Amino acid sequence: MKGFRPQSVPVYEALVREFAVFDRWFSSIPGPTQPNRLFVYSATSHGSISHVKNQLAQGYPQKTIFDSLHENGMDFGVYFQNIPTTFFYRNLRKLKYIFKFHQFDLKFKKDARNGKLPSLTVIEPRYFDLKVIPANDDHPSHDVANGQKLVKEVYEALRASPQWNETLLVITYDDHGGFNDHVKTPYVNVPNPDGNTGPAPYFFKFDRLGVRVPTIMVSPWIKKGTVISGPKGPAPNSEFEHSSIPATIKKMFNLSSNFLTHRDAWAGTFEQVVGELTSPRTDCPQTLPDVTPLRTTEANFPDEMSKKMNVKEAHAYVRGAVSRFIRASKEAIELGADQSAIVDMRSSLTTRSSIHN
């Protein structure tokens, strides 16, 4: 096992010292990126245990916490940099949500400065590692200096925002990039979210959690140097995991919608992290440390996204496809299409599209 010393990750070190870190936050399944990301906003991966390209392209059908917020008249926004992976939830492609998606570089700082960030604000990093525009998602072997620069940029925008005293920033990871941990992964009485099982040959029952992942929380309502371990319920064996995010959103915003699955009904909630102070702190740093590059080589992973596309080509394709989809959706709204419809980009992305309810 390898790791970074605190001096190599000064932004994260500063946040941990100033705010809160969780030492028992687990990934939702012992699996890879996308299934765990699906749990973050829907408390299930709908039976997925791996990256199934066709299913990601089609979109997963489960209800999300975004839908619950919308049902309760609350707003959300997704600020993305090259692809909003929240589009992997099919519901998020509906016309009624299309204006919730914003280019991070164009909109986030402006909205923060003007106090117009929505109730739930999602920041999506850059996933494609290019020489000129490197990835900032901390994925191996991307330079974690770039991930720190993103967190620094977000923090400093929030710290200067008139919404600062109403803000809780959650920084977490879908998985920790490996297999080693001295803490056992919970496997007793972990509820299956929705009755789905994984495909053959493993038929995974979704009845255990994955490895621990780093999770930092930032707010003027958090005591300096806070360390959070296990939750206080709702079940005797509840744990903090990705489903804790929709569970806590439901609780903090008093949403009348039902829990999304059995998993977020079981997962520990973390509202107590901002519940110990009677007034917001005024000593939170205005800025975070500067960072220097750690990687001495050029962008090199993955060299090939598929048999027909390298990283540069994949980035251009995805960026163009997302742009065309958003533009086509907005045009459909102008033409009076049903807000619950989804624009289906078919055949040539530049020439044909249709609308499906």
Mind giving me the DSSP string for 216-264? EEE-TTS-TTEEE-S---SSTT--EETTHHHHHHHHHTT--SPPSSHHH
Maximum Cα interatomic distance, the chain, rounded to a whole number of Å: 58
Please count the CA atoms within 13 angstroms of the CA of 288 that sit on its side-chain side: 28
- Within 10 Å of residue 52's Cβ, how many Cβ atoms? 15
Helix (H) or strand (E) holding 17: helix 10-18
Residue with token string 């100033």: 18
Tell me how far apart the alpha carbons of residues 123 and 169 are, in angstroms, rounded to a whole number: 10
What's the burial of 67, exposed, middle or buried (CB within 10 Å: 0-12/13-18/19+)? buried
Cβ-contact 268, 228 below 8 angstroms = no
Total residue count of the chain as it appears in this document? 357
Here the tokens at position 280 are: 């917001």
Cβ-contact 94, 342 below 8 angstroms = yes
Q: How far apart are the first and last CA of the chain?
A: 48
Q: What is the pLDDT along the chain (357 residues), one digit of tens a residue?
A: 778 999 999 999 999 999 999 999 999 999 999 999 999 999 999 999 999 999 999 999 999 999 999 999 999 999 999 999 999 999 999 999 999 999 999 999 999 999 999 999 999 999 999 988 999 999 988 999 999 999 999 999 999 999 999 999 999 999 988 788 999 999 999 999 999 999 999 999 999 999 999 999 999 999 999 999 999 999 999 999 999 999 999 999 999 999 999 999 999 999 999 999 999 999 999 999 999 999 887 775 554 455 578 888 889 999 999 999 999 999 999 999 999 999 998 755 444 456 666
**Closest by CA position to 97, among listed 41, 40, 39:** 41
Rounding to the nearest 10 degrees, give the CA dihedral for residues 246, 251, 255, 260: 40
- Give residue 40's identity as a one-letter amino acid code: V
Tell me the C-alpha to C-alpha distance, in Å, between residue 321 and each of 83, 272, 356: 9, 41, 18
Tell me how far apart the alpha carbons of residues 351 and 355 are, in angstroms, rounded to a whole number: 14
CA angle at residue 80 from 136 to 4, to 5 degrees?
20
